[in-house]
Amino acid sequence: RKEVEQDPGPFNVPEGATVAFNCTYSNSASQSFFWYRQDCRKEPKLLMSVYSSGNEDGRFTAQLNRASQYISLLIRDSKLSDSATYLCVVTPPGAGGTSYGKLTFGQGTILTVHP
Amino acid sequence: NAGVTQTPKFRVLKTGQSMTLLCAQDMNHEYMYWYRQDPGMGLRLIHYSVGEGTTAKGEVPDGYNVSRLKKQNFLLGLESAAPSQTSVYFCASSYPVGSYTDTQYFGPGTRLTVL
């Protein structure tokens, strides 16, 4: 089983649509959770961190369910500029309580927003 | 600030040749990482460093060596390139905050083809 698994996608949605991505992680002791965005042939960039209480940043809402080991990302009112690959990212547990910032990435979900 | 830079951006090698990828960051970050990204596999950690003079193995270290002689630089070496090392290589850096680490910032990537 992969450590971080995402919806395979791709997702093709019209402008203005609401789209949701899901992700599961295998290690219940994982420490931190993120969504990164990667544009075509570019480097990944942090989109948002994910907290148990849920967090929102404009049109983006992220949720974490530790009991189910499940992470989600909701994008409302999709824009053409939202077209990208969305990476679910987890910080695994580390020896002595620190992971040294190491990240485990899901394989990514491709989103295409069309006019 | 330039952030994280990588040299070279593209390279084609023949099987058995050697090369070094250079990563430089000007953000005074303690932690640095090398990842490879292959289609359908997500990013996988090759090696990482938690400070000048230190290195450690990640998920896929075989066939690679690293060095961190200066805090701002992290070098990735391929001693004898193999076609299986054809990939996009990303460097990243971050700064520890207490027992957690801050966002990882990625370089633009190096596209390596081994024939």
Q: What is the pLDDT of residues B70-103, one digit of tens each?
A: 999 999 999 999 999 999 999 999 987 665 556 8
Which residue among A43, A104, A107 places its CB closest to the CB of B107?
Answer: A43
Neighbour count for residue B108 (Cβ, 10 Å): 15
Neighbour count for residue B77 (Cβ, 10 Å): 14
Which residue among B43, B104, B108 places its CB closest to the CB of A101?
Answer: B104
Q: Residues 5 to 34 of A: which have CB under 8 A from any B CB?
A: 31-32
Under a CB-based contact definition with an 8 Å cutoff, are residues B32 and B56 in contact? no
In order of A1, A21, A88, A92, the CA distances from B7 in angstroms are: 35, 34, 27, 29
Q: Which residues of chain B have pLDDT under 70?
A: 97-102
Q: What is the pLDDT of residues A64-76, one digit of tens each?
A: 999 999 999 999 9
Question: Is B48 within 8 Å of A42 when comparing Cβ atoms?
Answer: no
pLDDT at A85 over 90: yes
Question: Is B42 within 8 Å of A87 when comparing Cβ atoms?
Answer: yes
- Closest by CA to B43, choosing from A64, A102, A13, is A102
Question: Is A98 within 8 Å of B99 when comparing Cβ atoms?
Answer: yes
- Closest by CA to B46, choosing from B77, B18, B73, is B77
Distance CA B86, CA B76 (A): 14
Partners of residue B99 in chain A, C-beta under 8 Å = 97-98
Between A31 and B29, name the one with better pLDDT.
B29
